[in-house]
Structure 1
């Protein structure tokens, strides 16, 4: 708990009420007067006080002047005169105002038990010429005067005592009547003597009534002193008053002691300690006969105390009052020291004590003691109530007291008043709650220019709204602020979409804008290896509108890639990539593949031939200027970066001629074959004889057959992997045992492997490609030769002629020392032959001698289909490659780099 030194008390008169903009003693404007009486005012008699109350509806926005009515005169109550004459006023920040008048005040008509109080209130607004006046007249009866009365109000202390004085009217401060007060001696403790006029000029009030002698002193006057009574700091007034009595000159000693401390604070409660025996006023033998607790000058009974959580107890040396922080009779006030939001709680308890001395003399003591807690930090809270799908930021800030106003909001782009924010379409509202607090809400859309946007992921937009709310505390105009950043994310990105088409010469590309900008320069448009810019857009026949942009690229441009060449066309590809340079990721791409007419071979009647060869993407290191025909001396006629032109005659450059035969050269090395057909321009007479043939003739028919490829677990081929076993881990160069079998029980059939190869995609015709078996024999160019295994018997009882087996060493495709793919795919072409008839060249057997010689250097192989054999095309699913290590070496094809393990699926 905090000690008395930390308490905040307002003993001085607060005639200037900032919260209600109520001012006293300000020069009145020269305007018309409108008199009204009693409207909205409440006057109450409270023992030796009269209380006049009016709420904020009457006071807020007005300035107030208070005049005391003294017969036919009006006396303007300045703060000094109010303390001297027994008037006080207090107001909360919302304009609820109370004016207290001591019944022994200077301008109260006093008949000892009946008191007439008159006040005149003038309220005027600086913006209006009209003055609103209220005349208040109140008569109070009070007869329970004790021998001695002490009153401690907000701005003064008052002591009175019953005395035998002449039956004269109340003497005003402006005149002194003979036979009244002569002089006063103050003890500080040194005696200081003043005559009545000197005391009045020093700010003291001294007067007599029909039955009493009254002395009044403002707080912190020079002739008062500070003392501790039972450990409680008190401000003490001691004075001897010399006055004229019927029997002659008399002297009365008066004293008053008012608390200036004795408060203990905790976050939950206020504890007010008063001396149980107030020795400057009563002697230590006096006992308490009455004890009351009230609020704002009004006594409370026990039920009220219990209902509001108050307690009043007496201890050995103290009277203790406990008040909960936030009690209904007090109020909170906002503060902003160093622009940090704090609140205080203020309450004005009233303690009333009646002591009775051993000689029977009674002393009534009443103190109205305003208490304000130390500053309590209340950091404002911001609640992000944004629902991203609504695309509206929603902020709730609070809670504050209702003396806080939102004045402006600062965004990254500047500071705007609340009115300017509303004009921009922002929703800025405040809501007052029944418990006296207030909250503020701000709503604005994601699309406002004060909102920042970025894309943490390609399809996600992160919206952020940094803002600072600028608050003002009224009426002090104390500023403070609350900074917060609202963040929301949405999957709301619509990337540009690309589409394309081709004509005879051009790739035509169209890009539809998404929601990230309608300018082609919003992103980088990469056309092949070049970037589309405003400078080179004309080269691409660029055009645009509000929703799209389009451009065209000749298929022969360097941006394109040639994939395949035929005798009458070229297959070209254009890759278009939309790139976000800020986030460094792609936002759209398109690979458009088209066939364009291209005459690559021209055969002229004079026997000359021209052939065009293009550099295909699959052979990036091909040097076109080093291309030769079969005759190494035949060089290109013309060479460019991507094409060459040969011109030769049909009887030169190693040209071969075949009649009525289909001829195919099949080799891995990139080759282009040129064929010309010439009609022989002469007639030949041929005699034909018909007779029975001894050779059986096959008839064309339909049937079904099945060829199956499996991977064996080891070289015994006893067991094969099933679908549930994949993927299979394999080391590079580890043997892979492949078996191809004919699912038939017909002993007349024999299975041959004609060609087997590996690719890095499921497409049988894709490149790169590595031949494993060529024309029934292992590829002689393979450093790790594929091994064909003889099949003499089978543990599962199948016919050996129906089974072919071979072993390969695992490898991977690479290009420029980088692995192209983590998969390889095995494909095979098979031939099913009549085992009893090997007259056809394709059915000579698996890698016969003639075929061995073919694989060692012949230029052509026979691939004509005959009715004694059947072709089957097989493809095996992928083999996955993982954890490549550059230190190992394995099979290359076209370039391969070994790895640590392979997985087969």
Structure 2
């Protein structure tokens, strides 16, 4: 039985079985028309062609019709009886029968009736389809000797004399033999093979050894499979030949006769160079010809059938003769052949297969004996490693099940750019031949069949092209669990897909694999977002995940947030997580404390899990209610000190003015004081309607210690008004007065401070404002150029004035210093105080000091407001300059102003000079006492 797989054909080794027209048990036999089956006569052969549509996927059983009998042709029987079969890659099958083969109805060696029964079994063998094919061929152009070299046997036939035999052998007894098909009375007696030593066999022994021998009405036929014990190899002009020689003794009408027969068939002679197959057949076949002969005809054919010159030219074939060879040349890839896949060492190779035919007729010089020599020679080119191309592309070409006709005419991929924004890996692997089947794909963590891959949404398709090749495409979404992801940059995701295609070549089931590594990058990262709010006691933070989900680290300050931190009321779902933490949590920061509130902040940010990139951050600051000072009617004061972030002091080290008064309770963030107003250095001040108690929380000063940076200082006050007690506010907010003047490309900083007395040793601090003064009490101001060590610079007070509001341009205003001198209209004269060098003052020219008496603004003898602000214009000058204007020195007037005195009103003043810089003092409050 021959078996037809998807793309190939195999002999099944089995004993010859004779079916007498009966179907196998339990099998349905359907007789069909001969559609898809074609038979024709090609010289001394009958050729039957079977279309792939009938045979592919089925088992094919071929039987010879011998009258009413059906003889199943096994491979051994086919070679012995003159039958051969071959199939191309697509399953198209050709069966050849020698006209002198067994079971052929031979009419006087002129008319030949060949009958074959084809039975095709389904894979389950539940159904069988039968076709009976008969073909009548007429062949009369017999040469004296005909040699046929088919793919599985060698055949030689010789014309025998019918009237008088030559070379009779004497004293040979009659040996009973199997009569030939014509029913003649004569038969073959003995066969002597030359290997080259003679080996004799009677006919039955020769048949048991696999040889075929028979007599027809005019010819003696001898047939041998290749590589039997009685055949041998011989090199003829560089071409390897398989040879058998035999003497056949047969009983003729006039006595015993002997005929010497020989056949020589090429098994080599093929050269492939530059994609051209050159097939060399020896011109002088020494086992078959003498030295003197003449070639009468030579023909080339394909698949057993001759080609004429125009057909050869259109295909690029040539047939030529050299001194030693007859040469046929065929381009690799000719449409008469086909490619076949192979997998040596589990790597994909292809070979080209074509079956040329050579037919030569020669005659021995001086005789009428001619020889027809016919060779059907299947050629397979050497295996060529076939690189598979991997291209991430959209496909063009004929897509299976869609009926699209492709534009690719070569075994290559049709390119088209991949669009990564589609978020799908689109890979095409090819070219592949049709005998390659994709069995599975190995992904990163699993092996899936094609069906399983498609079921999981990884679209796997086969695409057929008009040149007979195909490709495999795979579509895998970026979000599949088999795709690895990485972030080489903050907003960029790189996707990796690793897969191994597992192929099988059929029908031999040879496996091979091809790995593919794919990578694509997209700027597709959607960062998470953070929002936050506060209430009276807690921070509320909400995080919305970005495109990477919860693949992140949440940090509260320097601590990584985990679900186990229950104190923070952590909650999470698939798209968000939320966090609630009290403002007193250890990961918050205190920034500013006032009498009734505490400003706290939390620094919350999200990090990438592997790269520690900051994906999002939130600095949330809120004011929380907090009473820092309590005043009780029994004369007890309580105060809470809070460690702010800008001060490194430890709360437990804080004291009141009396450093023996330490906190009643403290931890690393708070210090709680409770004391009597008559203790701990509390200062008492009497007013008309109330008295004021003041103390201060600070860190004890250590002369030996180096105190760098801001120091903690908090003033606490209680007003007792008649029978009422109230807590008054204070401010610990720093107030910086930092106007600048430009010297070249640098900047100079200026500050104005209010001294506590005329010694200018102690100054009011930022937290002391507003400063309370009595009417006509002296105010001692110092204006200083900071951070400069240049002795050539001099600070000049150009103008100074007072207003009721912090706004320097508000009305009303009153001039204190005008054009660098005292205001001549002021009844309370401004006094400039000399500055001399001491331990603190290095450059007296950098400092100006003046004093004035506390006043208030009145209108119609009514006080407008009991608070004033002092402002100054300053200019930084070259101390050695003789320029005009304010840089001539402090209080240097031009001549025409020497006796200048004019009535002035307290009116708004303007600022015209673009070179002036302005500084202001904090509020100074008038008090009555």
Q: 2:387 aligns with which of 374, 379, 385?
A: 379
What corresponds to 1:143 in structure 2? Answer: 140
Q: 1:640 aligns with which of 667, 684, 691?
A: 667
Question: Matches of 1:292 and 1:462 in 2, distance apart?
Answer: 64
**Cα deviation per residue 1:579-604 (whole Å; 9 max; x = unaligned)?**
34444333332111111222223344
**Cα deviation per residue 1:629-654 (whole Å; 9 max; x = unaligned)?**
44444444433322223435278616
Contact 1:664-1:863 within 8 A present in 2 as well? no
- Say which is worse superposed, 105-114 or 499-508, in terms of deviation: 105-114
2:128 is the alignment partner of 1:131: yes
Contact 1:615-1:643 within 8 A present in 2 as well? yes
Q: Aligned to 2:512, what secondary structure does the other structure show?
A: strand
What corresponds to 1:217 in structure 2? Answer: 224
2:377 is the alignment partner of 1:369: yes
Contact 1:833-1:870 within 8 A present in 2 as well? no
User: 1:315-330 residue pairs with structure 2 within 5 A?
Assistant: 315-330=322-337
CA RMSD of aligned residues (A): 4.2
- How far the C-alpha of 1:54 sits from its partner, in A, is 0.9
Question: Matches of 2:564 and 2:626 in 1, distance apart?
Answer: 31
Provide closer, same or farther for how the CA distance between residues 541 and 847 of structure 1 changes in structure 2, counting only shifts above 3 A: farther
User: 1:734-753 residue pairs with structure 2 within 5 A?
Assistant: 738=747
**Cα deviation per residue 1:199-256 (whole Å; 9 max; x = unaligned)?**
3332222222232222221111222221111121111122222334444433322211
User: 1:763-802 residue pairs with structure 2 within 5 A?
Assistant: 775-777=782-784, 786-787=789-790, 789-791=792-794
What corresponds to 2:557 in structure 1? Answer: 528
Provide closer, same or farther for how the CA distance between residues 375 and 790 of structure 1 changes in structure 2, counting only shifts above 3 A: closer
2:65 is the alignment partner of 1:66: no
Contact 2:833-2:851 within 8 A present in 1 as well? no
2:586 is the alignment partner of 1:589: no
Contact 2:797-2:874 within 8 A present in 1 as well? no
What corresponds to 2:653 in structure 1? Answer: 626
- How far the C-alpha of 1:102 sits from its partner, in A, is 1.4
2:24 is the alignment partner of 1:29: yes
What corresponds to 2:807 in structure 1? Answer: none
- Say which is worse superposed, 602-611 or 282-291, in terms of deviation: 602-611
What corresponds to 2:805 in structure 1? Answer: none
**Cα deviation per residue 1:118-165 (whole Å; 9 max; x = unaligned)?**
222222224254432222222222222222211111111111222213
User: 1:263-302 residue pairs with structure 2 within 5 A?
Assistant: 263-266=270-273, 268-302=275-309
2:630 is the alignment partner of 1:602: yes
Contact 1:664-1:861 within 8 A present in 2 as well? no
Q: 1:754 aligns with which of 752, 757, 762?
A: 752
What corresponds to 1:424 in structure 2? Answer: 456
Provide closer, same or farther for how the CA distance between residues 497 and 365 of structure 1 changes in structure 2, counting only shifts above 3 A: same
Q: Aligned to 2:713, what secondary structure does the other structure show?
A: coil
Question: Matches of 1:566 and 1:479 in 2, distance apart?
Answer: 82
What corresponds to 1:254 in structure 2? Answer: 261
User: 1:410-421 residue pairs with structure 2 within 5 A?
Assistant: 410-421=442-453
- How far the C-alpha of 1:389 sits from its partner, in A, is 1.3
Provide closer, same or farther for how the CA distance between residues 337 and 296 of structure 1 changes in structure 2, counting only shifts above 3 A: same
How many pairs align?
745
Provide closer, same or farther for how the CA distance between residues 405 and 834 of structure 1 changes in structure 2, counting only shifts above 3 A: same
What corresponds to 1:612 in structure 2? Answer: 640
2:822 is the alignment partner of 1:837: yes
Q: 1:711 aligns with which of 743, 753, 762?
A: 743
Contact 2:657-2:695 within 8 A present in 1 as well? no
- How far the C-alpha of 1:864 sits from its partner, in A, is 7.7
User: 1:332-343 residue pairs with structure 2 within 5 A?
Assistant: 332-343=339-350
- Say which is worse superposed, 241-250 or 847-856, in terms of deviation: 847-856
- How far the C-alpha of 1:478 sits from its partner, in A, is 1.9
Q: 1:183 aligns with which of 165, 182, 190?
A: 190
What corresponds to 2:117 in structure 1? Answer: 120
- How far the C-alpha of 1:43 sits from its partner, in A, is 0.9
- Say which is worse superposed, 570-579 or 428-437, in terms of deviation: 570-579
What corresponds to 2:601 in structure 1? Answer: 573
User: 1:331-730 residue pairs with structure 2 within 5 A?
Assistant: 331-360=338-367, 361-385=369-393, 387-517=419-549, 523-537=552-566, 539-604=567-632, 608-620=636-648, 622-646=649-673, 647-649=675-677, 653=681, 655=683, 657=685, 669-679=711-721, 709-712=741-744, 721=745
Provide closer, same or farther for how the CA distance between residues 179 and 555 of structure 1 changes in structure 2, counting only shifts above 3 A: closer
Provide closer, same or farther for how the CA distance between residues 755 and 247 of structure 1 changes in structure 2, counting only shifts above 3 A: farther
Question: Matches of 1:677 and 1:834 in 2, distance apart?
Answer: 43
Contact 1:340-1:379 within 8 A present in 2 as well? no
Provide closer, same or farther for how the CA distance between residues 544 and 343 of structure 1 changes in structure 2, counting only shifts above 3 A: closer
- How far the C-alpha of 1:359 sits from its partner, in A, is 1.3
Contact 1:430-1:440 within 8 A present in 2 as well? yes
Contact 2:76-2:210 within 8 A present in 1 as well? yes
Question: Matches of 2:580 and 2:743 in 1, distance apart?
Answer: 49
**Cα deviation per residue 1:776-820 (whole Å; 9 max; x = unaligned)?**
2356xxxx874464459xxxxxxx77699xxxxxxxxxxxxxxxx
Question: Matches of 2:874 and 2:207 in 1, distance apart?
Answer: 127
Q: Aligned to 1:674, what secondary structure does the other structure show?
A: strand
Q: Aligned to 1:198, what secondary structure does the other structure show?
A: helix
**Cα deviation per residue 1:256-297 (whole Å; 9 max; x = unaligned)?**
110011112346222211101111111222122211111100
User: 1:43-54 residue pairs with structure 2 within 5 A?
Assistant: 43-54=39-50
- Say which is worse superposed, 470-479 or 294-303, in terms of deviation: 470-479
Contact 2:832-2:851 within 8 A present in 1 as well? no
Provide closer, same or farther for how the CA distance between residues 862 and 492 of structure 1 changes in structure 2, counting only shifts above 3 A: farther
Q: Aligned to 1:619, what secondary structure does the other structure show?
A: coil
Q: Aligned to 1:673, what secondary structure does the other structure show?
A: strand
2:99 is the alignment partner of 1:110: no
Contact 2:636-2:677 within 8 A present in 1 as well? yes
Q: Aligned to 2:249, what secondary structure does the other structure show?
A: strand
What corresponds to 2:81 in structure 1? Answer: 85
- Say which is worse superposed, 864-873 or 418-427, in terms of deviation: 864-873
- How far the C-alpha of 1:460 sits from its partner, in A, is 2.9
- How far the C-alpha of 1:176 sits from its partner, in A, is 8.7
Q: 1:231 aligns with which of 205, 216, 238?
A: 238
Q: Aligned to 2:54, what secondary structure does the other structure show?
A: helix
- How far the C-alpha of 1:578 sits from its partner, in A, is 2.7
- State the TM-score, normalizing by the size of structure 1: 0.74
Provide closer, same or farther for how the CA distance between residues 218 and 497 of structure 1 changes in structure 2, counting only shifts above 3 A: same
- How far the C-alpha of 1:534 sits from its partner, in A, is 3.1
- How far the C-alpha of 1:545 sits from its partner, in A, is 4.9
- Say which is worse superposed, 196-205 or 252-261, in terms of deviation: 196-205
Question: Matches of 1:220 and 1:17 in 2, distance apart?
Answer: 26
Contact 2:180-2:187 within 8 A present in 1 as well? no
Question: Matches of 2:67 and 2:790 in 1, distance apart?
Answer: 135
